[in-house]
């Protein structure tokens, strides 16, 4: 259905109720440094562990809840180890038809890349997308090779 999860989405339902016309949203985990994404594993160790627990809790269901921001034009998700499958990205792309810029960095496990199929589905649905930025571990870049023809 189209109903948004209210519980367990870290206040996103409240944000949606208060700012339904939001166009730009950035969600980053603690310790993420966009200029130095390769150092993020070190930063994950250095930040307050209570904050890390909260960041690990941000997952695919939270990203899916963003579909309620139908006017969303720019979305950044970075340093969120709980985003494992990318299913929420697909839902955002299906409902946020004005999305023009998508920036993804260090989502899910730093050792594996499990959301490649979901990313392809997301990109197929983002008909207005003009900017895509993705920072991945080097070993996952070969999995993206088939995107560029």
For 48-108, what is the HEC assignment? CHHHHHHHHCCEHHHHHHHHHCCCCCEEEEEEECECCCCHHHHHHHHHCCCCCEEEEEEEC
Q: Per the domain annotation, does 115 fall within a domain?
A: yes
Residue 142 is classified by DSSP as: G
Domain total in the chain: 1
Burial of 59 (0-12, 13-18, 19+ CB in 10 A): buried
Of 30-34, 48-52, 85-89, 133-137, where does the model show the most confidence? 85-89
Q: Is residue 3 part of a domain?
A: no
Domain assignment present for 10: no
Residues 78-116: tens digit of each pLDDT: 888 888 899 999 999 999 999 999 999 888 876 667 788
- All residues at 6 or more sequence positions from 111 whose CB lies less than 8 Å from its CB, including other chains: 137
Q: Label residue 106 exposed, middle or buried (CB < 10 Å: 0-12, 13-18, 19+).
A: buried
What integer pLDDT is reported at residue 40 of this predicted model? 46
Does residue 55 form part of some domain?
yes
- Structural domain harbouring 74: 22-139
pLDDT of 34 reads 60
Taking phi over 0 as left and psi of -120 to 50 as alpha, with beta for the rest, 106 belongs to left
Question: Within a domain: residue 44?
Answer: yes
Q: Please state the pTM of the whole predicted model.
A: 0.75
Is 120 contained in some domain? yes
What is the model's pLDDT at position 49? 52
Does 128 have pLDDT greater than 90?
yes
Residue 56: inside a domain: yes
In-domain check, residue 7: no
Give the pLDDT of residue 15.
86
């Amino acid at each position: 259905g189209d109903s948004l999860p209210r519980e367990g989405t870290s206040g996103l339902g409240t944000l949606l109720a208060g700012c339904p016309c939001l166009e730009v949203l950035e969600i980053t985990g603690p310790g993420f440094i966009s200029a130095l994404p390769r150092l993020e594993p070190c930063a994950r160790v250095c930040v307050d562990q209570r904050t890390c627990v909260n960041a690990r809790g941000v997952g695919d269901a939270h990203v899916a809840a963003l579909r309620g921001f139908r006017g969303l034009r720019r979305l950044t998700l970075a340093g969120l180890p709980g985003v494992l499958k990318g299913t929420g990205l697909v839902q955002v792309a299906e409902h946020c038809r004005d999305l023009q810029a998508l920036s993804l960095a260090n989502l899910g496990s730093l050792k594996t890349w499990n959301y490649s199929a979901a990313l392809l589905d997301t990109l197929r649905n983002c008909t207005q997308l003009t900017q895509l930025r993705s920072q991945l571990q080097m070993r996952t870049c070969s999995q993206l090779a088939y995107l560029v023809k």
